[in-house]
Chain A
Amino acid sequence: MAIRSVLSRRTLSSLKESSSKLLGLRGIQTFTLPDLPYDYSALEPAISGEIMQIHHQKHHQTYVTNYNNALEQLDQAVNKGDASTVVKLHSAIKFNGGGHVNHSIFWKNLAPVNQGGGEPPKGALGGAIDTHFGSLEGLVKKMSAEGAALQGSGWVWLGLDKELKKLVVDTTANQDPLVTKGGSLVPLVGIDVWEHAYYLQYKNVRPDYLKNVWKVINWKYASEVYESECK
């Protein structure tokens, strides 16, 4: 019995860039590049269409491809009982898998202005932000500062600590998902501060990117995640 290997939501409109692999015989599921629910140029002027296209079609696609390759190699190594290869693949899986996970969240964290991008959060999440950070401006200031101060490549996150029932701001290095900072952390908003996320437009001025990206943050999605985790 073949196992369908598509694990992400796809829009009906475009079928490009997805290479779905049916590996039913082997039993491992592989991953495909999720489509963006908006055009590449829809986030301008905050993020240029050129950046969005390369970021999605090249960087994210590479993570997906390499993740799938690593998983295949892992599967073979596991079946052969090759423990040292299994361990050796660990960093490639963490990096590429993390890259896929993080970017899949990131595309949903963004929305064009005419689809609600930049609109402040209402409801439960809005209240929680005011409680924990004083105001949305306070949260934005904190996340922007931490994002700017992050050395090298990484992400800055607004997360929900499920156990402690509080919002946290944290950073992760390279492509580490937020869960590597705490098993009970659920990512609500992640901002990519790798240079590839802003370089063509903002060059070395990461703080300018961080100032502008808030204009296209999709708080509706973050609220949905927050409310579903808080049930």
Chain B
Amino acid sequence: MASCVVTTSSFCTVSDSSIRLKSSKLVHLQRRRSLGSRGGLKVEAYYGLKTPPYPLDALEPYMSQRTLEVHWGKHHRGYVDNLNKQLGKDDKLYGYTMEELIKATYNNGNPLPEFNNAAQVYNHDFFWESMQPGGGDMPQKGVLEQIEKDFGSFTNFREKFTNAALTQFGSGWVWLVLKREERRLEVVKTSNAINPLVWDDIVCERVSLIFSCYKVMFPLDHMYFCCCCLQPIISLDVWEHSYYIDYKNERGKYINTFLNHLVSWNAAMSRMARAEAFVNLGEPNIPIA
């Protein structure tokens, strides 16, 4: 195989000749069996390197194939490999989804060694899917309406996004997120590997406290309320490795190009639709058949 990639994320065991997919339940069973295992089943690797939803040269000339080859093929792959190595050491972190793993390893601001790799795997998956060939331009319908509602105008959003990307000193990411409590879109920036998912916990603790009284009457799963208080919609990688080959030090040019030619408002639309399962943005616009 030219490149060993798995096209679905999470819970893959990778051996030389086969790829097996396991659900979280099965992994738990695996763990119990693997100590003194009969049948020789051994959980080896947990996350696969997801390919971007387009060929590596599809974003030319705005993001070169060379950049994709190094950024995805070396940086992103490195995070996946290193994460798998860490997870292979003991079974403390078995059975998590990616989002759960990130929150668990973030450890309320005192990150465990696995956090950097886990978060960066998620961040890069999200980033590739935030772009598309022939991207850029303007969003449509619901996304555009929400942006105009929360930022005043699309131009204002662009300005805020660009400014955040330019003033993220050092390495990091810029995000358009949907905030569940405030029920609005916002631009946030994060440093190094941090992403908006880690900011869930503080809010969710409060929410679950309120609802704990109702647990007898309404047995609600704690996790239901703690799914993504900040829903990421779009992200931009502003680590230097993301733009240095194509733009050298000119981060501003890179940001402009991303907004003009790369950002996938289609992806934003589907992420917004999913986010609306958790955030009540008001009366749905039911089209008249």
Contact = CB atoms under 8 A, between A and B. Distances in A.
Contact of B244 (A152, A174, A175, A196): A196
B85 interface: no
A58 B248 contact: yes
Contact of A54 (B70, B192, B249): B249
A182 B191 CA distance: 23
B116 A153 contact: no
Contacts of B239: 152, 195
A14 interface: no
B249 A58 contact: yes
A204 B244 contact: no
Contacts of A151: 116, 192-193
B88 interface: no
Contact of A196 (B75, B78, B249): B249
A200 interface: yes
Contacts of A195: 171, 239-241, 244
Given A152-B191, A173-B170, A199 B249 contact: no
Interface in A190-215: 194-196, 199-200, 203-204
Given A199-B240, A199-B244, A199-B245, A153 B74 contact: no
A59 interface: yes
A9 to B, nearest CB: 25
Contacts of B191: 152
Given A195-B240, A200-B244, A204-B70, A153 B193 contact: no
A91 interface: yes
Given A54-B248, A204-B70, A196 B240 contact: yes
A173 B194 CA distance: 15
A199 B241 contact: yes
Interface string B241-272: 10011001100000000000000000000000
Contacts of B248: 54, 58, 200
Contacts, number: 52
Contacts of B75: 204
Nearest to B77: A204
B54 interface: no
B169 interface: yes
B78 A204 contact: yes
A194 B251 CA distance: 14
B74 A203 contact: yes
Interface in B57-108: 70, 74-75, 78
A175 B191 CA distance: 14
A62 interface: yes
Interface residues of B, number: 19
Interface string A33-66: 0000000000000000000001000110010000
Nearest to A96: B169
A196 to B, nearest CB: 5
Given A173-B170, A195-B240, A195-B241, A204 B249 contact: no
A133 interface: no
A152 B70 contact: no
A154 B191 CA distance: 12
B171 A152 contact: yes
A221 interface: no
B249 A152 contact: no
A205 to B, nearest CB: 8
A95 interface: yes
A152 B172 CA distance: 8
A174 B172 CA distance: 11
A202 B170 CA distance: 19
Contacts of B74: 203-204
A95 B169 CA distance: 7
Interface in B169-204: 169-172, 191-193
Given A152-B239, A195-B244, A196-B244, 12 more contacts: A151-B116, A151-B193, A152-B193, A153-B240, A174-B169, A194-B240, A195-B241, A199-B241, A199-B244, A200-B244, A203-B74, A204-B75
19 contacts: A91-B169, A151-B116, A151-B193, A152-B170, A152-B171, A152-B191, A152-B192, A154-B170, A173-B170, A175-B169, A194-B170, A194-B240, A195-B171, A195-B240, A195-B241, A196-B240, A199-B245, A204-B78, A204-B241
Interface of A: 54, 58-59, 62, 91, 95, 151-154, 173-175, 194-196, 199-200, 203-204
10 closest A-B pairs by beta carbon, nearest first, are: A195-B240, A152-B192, A174-B170, A152-B171, A153-B170, A58-B249, A199-B244, A95-B169, A204-B74, A153-B171
